[in-house]
Every structure is written in structure tokens, then in C-alpha cells.
Amino acid sequence: MAATAGSRRAIPRFNHVAMSLAPEELDAKARAEILRFYSEVFGWTEMPGLTLDRERLVLRAHSNEQFVFLVADPQPMRCPNGDHFGMSVATRADFDEVLARARAFGQRHPGVEIDGPHSEDFKVLVLHSFYVRYRLPLRIEVQHFAWAEGVGADSTPRT
């Protein structure tokens, strides 16, 4: 998608993730537990006008155009441990803070799964990551990209 002079480049971007849960996982008590975790750890909020008891919960991820859509299904989504979606944070301090909030929640509530943190050095990038899951079929991989000087998210990869 090439941009023309004076135009804004229209690049498709991710805006939501949808997962199915068993209807009982979307009753009032379960919704409150899901909302408590994702609010405390990630700052997500409920889109209350979209909530239907035992049918649907939509978690707003800092924007009305970024959300996690949870819907009831008698045959809910099941995922192997490697299935996940990713979120990135701007700084290493942000990364450490999200990890600390997830760990603190896990101390108070059973069922929080955390894997990591991990760091991988790719020379132009040190990738810091951890995985977390609570009551949803997909894990979330939280990442911080520590770019080398002169390299960044919009750099063109060299072949």
C-alpha cells in the first residue's frame, strides 16, 4: 500500500482478539474475576453496554478500537500452551511493572500462570518477554523491545 504525496498511509493494524469461553465462564462472578485481573495487570476496562450475562464480555484495551472480545460457546476455544497473542510495552520499567502486577495478583488468586521473564539478544534488539494467562484460553506474551542505537520498530530489516 503505497502512500501518495500529502496522503496518509492506510496500513491495516490489529484491533481485537476474540475467544470463546463456556457460558458459565461468563456469569457475573467469573466476569468480575476476569475483569479484576485484566484491569489490575493491564489497565483494561469493561465495555458495559456490550456485556451480556453468560454470553459476552468485551474488555477495552485502552481504546475503543482495541479490545478483547469474549463470547460464550458450548464448545469453547481450547489452546495448546504455545498459542498466544502479544502486547508490547514502551520501557523496561513498564515491562517490570506489568510483571510485578501479574505476580502480585497471582499471590492473592490461584490460577495465574506466568512463564518467564526471558531475554533474547538479536544484536539489533534485546527482546524481553514473559507469558501470562488467567481464565482465558490464550496466553498473553508481554514484550519490551530494547532496540540498538539507530534501529527501531519502523526500521527496514536488512537481508
Q: Which three cell numbers stand for residue 123?
A: 544484536
Is the model's pLDDT at 24 over the cut of 70?
yes
Q: Please check the confidence at residue 150 and state whether its pLDDT lies above 90.
A: no
Residues 102 and 132 in one domain: yes
Mark whether 87 and 157 lie in a shared domain.
yes
Q: Give how far Cα 45 sits from Cα of 38, 96, 112, 117, Å.
A: 8, 21, 19, 25
Same domain, 100 and 157: yes
Q: Is 157 in contact with 151 (CB distance < 8 Å)?
A: no
- Residue-wise pLDDT tens digits, 92-114: 999 999 999 999 999 999 999 99
Q: Which domain holds residue 84?
A: 79-159
> Are 87 and 128 part of one and the same domain?
yes
Domain assignment present for residue 1? The answer is no
Q: How many domains does the chain have?
A: 2
Has residue 4 been placed in a domain? no
- Residue 79 in this model has a pLDDT that exceeds 50: yes
Q: Name beta bridge partners: 87.
A: 142
Report yes or no on 26 lying in a domain: yes
Q: How confident is the model at residue 158 (pLDDT cuts 50, 70, 90)?
A: low
Residues with Cβ < 8 Å from 84, sequence gap 6 or more? 131, 138, 139, 140, 141
Enter the C-alpha cell of residue 8: 496518509
Instruction: State the CATH number of the domain containing residue 42.
Output: 3.30.720
Same domain, 115 and 52: no
